[in-house]
């Protein structure tokens, strides 16, 4: 069954074939995609990415959710869980919001809901955070969520920071009330 997620300010739903324009709005934005692994996308490459997202949902039963404002129903971006690389058991948290929604806590709010879903509904033991090593904002979000830095990975176009969040750490922090949600 397709999982819809509600938070106090957000509605998250799986992407669908009707989301081509939504995804292109996000994936063509140089402020967003300039700091993400796949870079700025054309309409055609954005459509290919949507097919990859839909295929992941079909194959795994989870994936990236489209994020919308509960108040205005406006598309805000994406947040979800996906294979770190095809065929692996390692699952990463992925998120990206349109810049007008940055700095207001929406990414953290969506990520908390998605992490909770991954641990409590999917039974994941760990979730990885893999971000551009120069993306200070995403590194801060991951740290705030409880991810522990593992190591840097050198790639030809920069460095990637890899972090991990274990289910038991998440549950202990949640039950201890140290995370504000």
Mind listing the pLDDT tens digit for each residue in 66-120?
A: 999 999 999 999 999 999 887 788 999 999 999 999 999 999 999 999 999 999 9
pLDDT recorded at residue 181: 42
Cα–Cα dist 63/46, whole Å:
16
End-to-end CA separation in angstroms for the chain? 26
pLDDT recorded at residue 179: 47
Contact between residue 32 and residue 99 where contact means Cβ atoms under 8 Å apart = yes
With respect to residue 51, please indicate whether it lies within any of the assigned structural domains.
yes
With respect to residue 50, please indicate whether it lies within any of the assigned structural domains.
yes
What is the pLDDT of the chain when averaged over all its residues? 88
Q: Name the nearest CA neighbour of 81 among 99, 102, 59.
A: 59
Provide the number of structural domains found in the chain.
1
Cα–Cα dist 117/75, whole Å:
21
Q: Domain of residue 142: give its range.
A: 5-176
With respect to residue 92, please indicate whether it lies within any of the assigned structural domains.
yes
- Phi, psi dihedral angles at 75 (to 5 degrees): -70, 130
With respect to residue 181, please indicate whether it lies within any of the assigned structural domains.
no
pLDDT recorded at residue 32: 81
pLDDT per position as a tens digit, 36-63: 666 777 899 899 999 999 999 999 999 9
With respect to residue 38, please indicate whether it lies within any of the assigned structural domains.
yes
Give percent above pLDDT 90 in the chain.
60
CATH for 45: 3.40.630.30
For residue 97, list its beta bridge partners.
Answer: 77
Cα–Cα dist 110/95, whole Å:
8
Band of the pLDDT at 180, cuts 50, 70, 90?
very low
- Three-state SS string over 77-125 comes to EEEEEEECCCCCCCEEEEEEECHHHCCCCHHHHHHHHHHHHHHHCCCCC
Mean pLDDT for 110-132 is: 93
């Amino acid at each position: 069954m397709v999982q819809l997620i509600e938070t106090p300010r957000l509605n998250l739903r799986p992407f669908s074939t009707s989301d081509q324009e939504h995804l292109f709005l996000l994936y063509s934005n140089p402020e967003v995609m300039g700091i993400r692994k796949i870079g700025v996308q054309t309409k055609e490459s954005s459509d290919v990415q949507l097919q990859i997202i839909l295929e992941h949902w079909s194959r795994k039963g989870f994936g990236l959710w489209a994020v919308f404002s509960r108040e205005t129903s406006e598309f805000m971006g994406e947040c979800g869980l996906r294979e770190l690389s095809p065929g692996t058991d390692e699952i990463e948290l992925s998120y990206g919001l349109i810049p007008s929604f940055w700095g207001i806590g929406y990414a953290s709010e969506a990520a908390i809901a998605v992490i909770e879903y991954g641990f409590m509904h999917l039974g994941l033991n760990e979730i990885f955070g893999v971000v551009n090593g120069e993306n200070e904002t995403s590194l801060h979000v991951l740290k705030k969520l409880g991810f522990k830095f593992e190591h840097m990975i050198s790639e030809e176009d920069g460095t990637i920071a890899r972090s991990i969040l274990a289910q038991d750490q998440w549950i202990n922090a949640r039950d201890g009330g140290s995370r504000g949600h």
